[in-house]
Amino acid sequence: MNLDNYKIGVLCGGESREREISLKSGQAIYETLKEEGLNVVKIDVHRDIMKVIEREAIDIAFLALHGGWGEGGTIQAICRLMGIPFTSSDVLGSALAIDKLATKKVLKSEGILTPPCLIFSKKDIKKKGYLENFAQQVKVKLGFPVILKPVREGSTIGEKEIRKKDNLKSELESSTNYGNILLVEKYINSTEVTVGILGLGDDLEALPIIEIAPKAEIYDFKCKYTPGEAEYIIPARIPKDTYRKVQTIALRTSKALNLEIISRIDILVENKNIYVMEANSIPGMTRMSLVPRAARSAGYKFSDLLIKMLELSLKREQSTDNE
């Protein structure tokens, strides 16, 4: 498919807590597509984005927006409204994947294991005894340690390991800055892996599995973005039969959540138990990000991966037009 006749807009930045990461992804994509001789412009997304898209007259949107507008379905809905193909899952898949609670509900309905959790609500925090009762439930039903997560943040922002009941109570109160709903998940002593998924509809490809070996107890924001704080092993050091099962479960997860073009499924492997933690509908896209690493192991140069994503976005748009 010839991309020479298309103007590509790399949409990045935005207003989420992942803005700086998004700008790095956007810059890497922009520079690589420029090197390939394509007509490309980088756009820092703000609330006037529809006017900017009209002014720039782009033909395809390469979405490098992480969190918020980018992974929640907002920018996808704008692109749909404006008739512009885009390089991510559609509105429904994006909205499901950004919400960890919605993701868990879909996975459970599909018979896919996900770590047990309890849900903490900010609106109930002022109720007498709520905080103490919730912490006690966590102790009884999940045990310590646990992982505290905001429901709608990416890049492990706001994620914390909690080892004691009293610590949980104080962390719950401070973590409501990340949203009105929090998840408290059972800590599973396991091997953490991630699987990139590339493709459309039923034609999906599971990329080589990456094992994530953090130096810290959990793979948190600091560990993820500080050089030398984690080791990434490709292929993951898990048994061959488990390896195949992990890829199969990642593909099932992607289909269940309506994810396509590109996604990344984060998974915990505990002996024979395989737990899906969450799904990323717009994973990091610098040359050293996890999906490009996996794609490189599968034989895709970074430029090949980006062009493949653009081609898939056009293919989806053409199939939609023919319906």
Active-site pick, 22, 94, 155, 313: 155
Q: Which of 258, 280, 289, 313 is catalytic?
A: 280
Report how far residue 25's alpha carbon sits from residue 43's, in angstroms, rounded to the nearest whole number.
Answer: 12
Reply yes or no on whether 225 is catalytic.
yes
Give the H or E element holding residue 182.
Answer: strand 181-186
- Contact indicator for 100, 71 with CB cutoff of 8 Å: no
How far is the C-alpha of 250 from the C-alpha of 262, rounded, in Å?
Answer: 12
Contact 254, 248 (CB under 8 A): no
Query: Is 167 among the catalytic positions?
Result: no
Q: 103: closest CA among 235, 276, 261? A: 276
Q: Active site residue: 19, 263, 284, 289, which one? A: 284
Active site residue 264: yes
Alpha carbons 52 and 58: distance in angstroms, whole number: 9
Active site residue 71: no
> Of the listed 225, 229, 252, 304, which one is catalytic?
225
CB atoms within 10 A of CB 1: 11
Catalytic annotation present for 266: yes
The C-alpha atoms of residue 5 and residue 169 are separated, in whole angstroms, by 57
* Choice among 18, 99, 159, 185 that is catalytic: 18
Angle of helix 91-98 versus helix 74-82 axis, rounded to 10:
170
List the catalytic residue out of 175, 192, 278, 289: 278
- Which tokens sit at 44? 């820092």
Distance CA 302, CA 287 (A): 6
User: DSSP per residue over 210-244, as a string?
Assistant: EEEEESSSS--HHHHHSTTSEEEESS-SS-HHHHH
Active-site residue, selected from the candidate residues 94, 266, 296, 316: 266
The owner of tokens 């990323």 is 280
Q: Active-site residue 271, yes or no?
A: no
Q: Is 39 a catalytic residue?
A: no
18 is catalytic: yes
Catalytic positions, please? 18, 155, 225, 264, 266, 278, 280, 284
